[in-house]
Amino acid sequence: MTSTAPDAYPGQRLGLPRDGAGSVARVGRRIGALVIDYGAAYLISGFFAFDALAILAIFGAIQIVFLPTLQASPGHRIFGLRLEMVGGGWVGLWRPIIRTLLLIVVIPAVIWDADQRGLHDKAVGTILVRR
């Protein structure tokens, strides 16, 4: 069955389950995780009276530190998500850096394919799934 069929679901082409553990992370959970991570960066920067660029730098640092070590940012963990390679496995060290830079640019993160993978994930071969 192809992904253009009416009963296709995000992740089907990639061999992922429709729902539950291992299924593609849906928009609501992604936005929630983003709000948690960005909020944490905002709070941390407030302690040092930093500006908007500092908030983005702290947000980026949170992503780059936690994605390769825990397979998830703090927001991802709270919302039951993890980042993995499309075929499974560890994302390595360079993928979180490229992914985060593209996420900060915003545009790649809001352009999705049929599997609800943003361009920032497609560029590095990762996918955000439910734990």
Are the C-beta atoms of 86 and 127 separated by less than 8 Å? Answer: yes
- Report the C-alpha gap between 23 and 102 in whole angstroms: 23
10 occurs within a structural domain = no
Are the C-beta atoms of 98 and 86 separated by less than 8 Å? Answer: no
Cα dihedral 50→32→85→24 (10° resolution): -160
13 occurs within a structural domain = no
Residue located via tokens 């998500």:
81
Structural domain count, the chain: 1
- Report the C-alpha gap between 54 and 98 in whole angstroms: 19
Write down the mean pLDDT value for the chain. Answer: 92
For residues 8-22, give the mean pLDDT. 95
How confident is the model at residue 2, as a pLDDT? Answer: 46
Give per-residue pLDDT as tens, 28-64. Answer: 999 999 999 999 999 999 887 778 899 999 999 999 9
Q: Is the pLDDT of residue 102 over 90?
A: yes
96 falls in which pLDDT band (50, 70, 90)?
very high
18 occurs within a structural domain = no
Give per-residue pLDDT as tens, 59-86. Answer: 999 999 999 999 999 999 999 999 999 9
Q: Which two tokens stand for residue 9?
A: 């679901």
Where in the sequence is the domain holding 100, given as residue range(s)?
29-130
17 occurs within a structural domain = no
Are the C-beta atoms of 123 and 102 separated by less than 8 Å? Answer: yes
117 occurs within a structural domain = yes
How confident is the model at residue 1, as a pLDDT? Answer: 43
83 occurs within a structural domain = yes
2 occurs within a structural domain = no
| pTM assigned to the model | 0.89
How confident is the model at residue 4, as a pLDDT? Answer: 55
- Report the C-alpha gap between 38 and 24 in whole angstroms: 22
